[in-house]
A and B are shown apart, each in its own frame.
Chain A
Amino acid sequence: MTAATLRRVGLGGITGNPIAFAVVLAIMAVLLAVPLAHNGYVEIIFRNILMYAAMSYGWNLIGGYTGYVSFGNVVFFGLGAYCSALLGAHGVNNLFADVAVACVVNAAFAALVGLPVLRLRGHYFGIATLGIALAVADIVANLDAFGGTGGLALKQVDQAHFSLYYYAMWLVALGAMLATYAIARSKLGYAFVAIRENEEAAAVLGIAATRYKVTAWAISAAFAGAAGAVFAPANGFLDPSIAFSIDSNVFPIVMAILGGIGTVAGPFIGALLLAGLNEILQRTFLKIHTLFFGAIIVLVVLLLPRGLVWLFGLRGGARTWLKSLAGYRA
């Protein structure tokens, strides 16, 4: 078996390894039981895992499937959160409405911004998205309607229905996951991957690259927006530093890479492990936990460049793995 074959082992086609996906669905089913533990703190940890998973699925569509690495997807999370907060401030307190509005607003915003920005390639696209993230955060911080830097206090969370937000976030994560699965298997998914693999060759095969890139980013934005829309009322307070935090920008990317980009199971596995790890490290080494965090990310990228999902399809144990490392080319 050549190195090239080894690299391919376990990728399991356009949706990634099916066993990994089955495992993820099973874990999702188990996670439904978390609120039954009646522990608010644990519930919030898992709600955040689901939130990051949904955002990571969003990033995975544009960064993983389409190959356009965005450093600005936090914008969509933040705007989604503000959609929800502003609707609440105007008397609309309906999570379904919040999520629906956030999805539509974000998809439209992504399409609008994407039309010029997605003509850029590689690093230039990444830098442009980072610029957008910073600009939008600054604009929001200076708008009185958005509460400015002082933020917006949302309607007090009803303690009796606290778990409602957990279930809503669970649905958003599941929706993002299943939508990714359906998209990956459809013609749309193949257009995304073709663009990632070779944009010029994709165009010659009849794929209107810009249109599909914008589509990928719009769907990606809807996922992040939905997560934000549930997060805002659950959190009870929103200001630009929360809505557009660095963590919310970086975590979903690292999670997708850790789990396996361009797979359906990857973002969830990444979110579960990374958010869990972060929690443990923060408790154990409060002041220097990010140091360990960084070291772990470096190790994973070096040792598991294809992400954890890859391990599900690994046959032949450590030897195969070592061989594949030797043969891996980015």
Chain B
Amino acid sequence: MSGVLAIDGIGMRFGGLWALTDVSFEVEPGSVVGLIGPNGSGKTTLMNVISGVYKPTTGEVRYAGTRIADVPTHRVCRLGIARTFQVVKPFANLTVRENVAVGAMYGREGTRRSTRASFERADELLEVVALTRVAGRAASDLTIPDRKRLEVAKALALDPEILLLDEVMAGLNATEVDEALELLRTVNARGVTLIVVEHLMKAIVSISTTIVVLAEGKKIAQGAPSDVLASPLVIEAYLGSRWVKRQEQLALIASEREEALRVQPPEAHA
């Protein structure tokens, strides 16, 4: 039943503060949407609205014709929408394997799965996220990168069509980020649509097909990664003027290097 996820005029108010105002965009099946914006721009709030944790003050999120706001939280995953939490929420006293199996038991395919089949599914997914080596450990024993992997495995156990990833790469080192990106590409290749909130610009540019930029609760840009990053509005709101200067410097260095190579042909080094 995969279809377009429509985010339509979302506004979200907390007391006197509008965390989101009139945010609209659509997510095509199979795409990877990167959601970026400075701290406090409303990214996590939007994730909470899409996953049905918050009911929006205005507007609505629809997936395959169903209004998410009408669906209780525990039923959202039955629609095919799963999420990870920015602050990971593992079941600390269960093993890694059990954590994932719970998702398999109660997710979209859960009613058709026996306990044993759920554990088999968990084993498959632990393989996918490379956690098989710690399957029998308590979730509370895991390192931060492994907790993030577990969070992804739990969400995948729900057999989602759309996966919302809230800062799964925060706190990871460069190698771990590369591994995480590889994992997300694998997941996307299996037909899962991804909505990715991330601070790491390099990571989000390399994986997204579309980028949506939020600033102070408003959508200020949307489009292909290169176009969005070139937009002066985005540079100003999010990246700051220093970034622009640095890019110019980098371009200058690169052209000088090219120049130098042209003067001294490669044979001279041999």
Interface size on B, as a range, is 35 or more
Measured CB to CB, the closest approach of chain B to A212, in angstroms, equals 10
C-alpha gap A205/B108 in the complex (Å): 9
Interface pair A190/B141, CB less than 8 Å apart: no
C-alpha gap A202/B154 in the complex (Å): 11
Nearest chain B residue, comparing its CB with the CB of A191: B106
Residues of A within 8 A of B (CB-CB), count: 28
Interface pair A200/B74, CB less than 8 Å apart: no
B18 within 8 Å of A by Cβ? Answer: no
Query: Other CB < 8 Å A-B pairs besides A205-B77, A205-B107, A206-B158, 12 of them?
Result: A8-B137, A185-B115, A190-B101, A190-B105, A190-B115, A197-B90, A198-B89, A201-B90, A205-B157, A206-B106, A206-B110, A208-B74
A284 within 8 Å of B by Cβ? Answer: no
Measured CB to CB, the closest approach of chain A to B194, in angstroms, equals 17
Can you give 15 contacting A-B residue pairs, CB < 8 Å? Answer: A2-B141, A187-B118, A190-B94, A202-B102, A203-B73, A203-B74, A204-B51, A204-B53, A204-B74, A204-B85, A205-B77, A205-B154, A206-B158, A208-B72, A262-B93
C-alpha gap A20/B118 in the complex (Å): 27
Interface pair A14/B107, CB less than 8 Å apart: no
Measured CB to CB, the closest approach of chain A to B228, in angstroms, equals 30
Binding site secondary structure of chain A: helix
Measured CB to CB, the closest approach of chain A to B2, in angstroms, equals 18
Interface pair B118/A204, CB less than 8 Å apart: no
A209 within 8 Å of B by Cβ? Answer: yes
Nearest chain A residue, comparing its CB with the CB of B92: A197
C-alpha gap A185/B73 in the complex (Å): 25
C-alpha gap A190/B78 in the complex (Å): 18
Interface residues as binary, B140-152 with A (CB distance below 8 Å gives 1, 0 otherwise): 1100000000000
Residues of B within 8 A of A209 (CB): 74
Nearest chain A residue, comparing its CB with the CB of B51: A204
Interface pair A8/B141, CB less than 8 Å apart: yes
Residues of A within 8 A of B123 (CB): none
Among residues 5 to 21 in chain A, which have CB atoms less than 8 Å away from a CB atom of chain B?
5, 7-8, 11, 13-14
C-alpha gap A180/B154 in the complex (Å): 26
Residues of A within 8 A of B94 (CB): 14, 190, 193-194, 197
Among residues 178 to 235 in chain A, which have CB atoms less than 8 Å away from a CB atom of chain B?
185-187, 190-191, 193-194, 197-198, 200-209
Residues of B within 8 A of A97 (CB): none
Nearest chain A residue, comparing its CB with the CB of B81: A204
Measured CB to CB, the closest approach of chain B to A314, in angstroms, equals 16
C-alpha gap A197/B94 in the complex (Å): 9
Nearest chain B residue, comparing its CB with the CB of A198: B89
Interface pair A187/B51, CB less than 8 Å apart: no
Interface pair A14/B141, CB less than 8 Å apart: no
Nearest chain A residue, comparing its CB with the CB of B84: A204
C-alpha gap A8/B92 in the complex (Å): 10
Residue in B83, B98, B138 whose CB lies within 8 Å of A4: B138
Nearest chain A residue, comparing its CB with the CB of B103: A205
B243 within 8 Å of A by Cβ? Answer: no
C-alpha gap A191/B106 in the complex (Å): 8
Residue in A14, A186, A207, A262 whose CB lies within 8 Å of B98: A14
Residue in A4, A7, A8, A206 whose CB lies within 8 Å of B74: A206
Residue in A7, A186, A204, A207 whose CB lies within 8 Å of B83: A204
Residues of A within 8 A of B92 (CB): 197
C-alpha gap A186/B115 in the complex (Å): 6
C-alpha gap A8/B154 in the complex (Å): 21
Interface pair B93/A193, CB less than 8 Å apart: yes
A13/B95 contact (C-beta < 8 A), A205-B154, A206-B77 known? yes
B91 within 8 Å of A by Cβ? Answer: yes
Interface pair A206/B107, CB less than 8 Å apart: yes
C-alpha gap A220/B181 in the complex (Å): 46
Measured CB to CB, the closest approach of chain B to A80, in angstroms, equals 31
Nearest chain B residue, comparing its CB with the CB of A11: B93
A194/B73 contact (C-beta < 8 A), A8-B140, A187-B115, A206-B78 known? no
C-alpha gap A2/B102 in the complex (Å): 26
Interface pair A205/B138, CB less than 8 Å apart: no
Residues of A within 8 A of B118 (CB): 187
C-alpha gap A185/B116 in the complex (Å): 10
C-alpha gap A198/B150 in the complex (Å): 15
Residues of B within 8 A of A14 (CB): 94, 98
Residues of B within 8 A of A262 (CB): 93
Residues of A within 8 A of B106 (CB): 187, 191, 205-207
C-alpha gap A7/B137 in the complex (Å): 12
Interface pair B91/A198, CB less than 8 Å apart: yes
Residues of A within 8 A of B95 (CB): 13
Residue in A4, A5, A186, A197 whose CB lies within 8 Å of B91: A197
Nearest chain B residue, comparing its CB with the CB of A190: B102
A200/B89 contact (C-beta < 8 A), A194-B102, A206-B106 known? yes
C-alpha gap A13/B74 in the complex (Å): 25
Interface pair B141/A5, CB less than 8 Å apart: yes
C-alpha gap A204/B101 in the complex (Å): 14
C-alpha gap A187/B102 in the complex (Å): 8
Residues of B within 8 A of A198 (CB): 89-91
Residues of A within 8 A of B101 (CB): 190
Residues of A within 8 A of B72 (CB): 208
Among residues 114 to 136 in chain B, which have CB atoms less than 8 Å away from a CB atom of chain A?
115, 118
Interface pair B93/A204, CB less than 8 Å apart: no
Q: Which of B75, B91, B141 gathers the greatest number of chain A CB atoms within 10 Å?
A: B91
Interface pair A201/B85, CB less than 8 Å apart: yes
Interface pair A197/B110, CB less than 8 Å apart: no
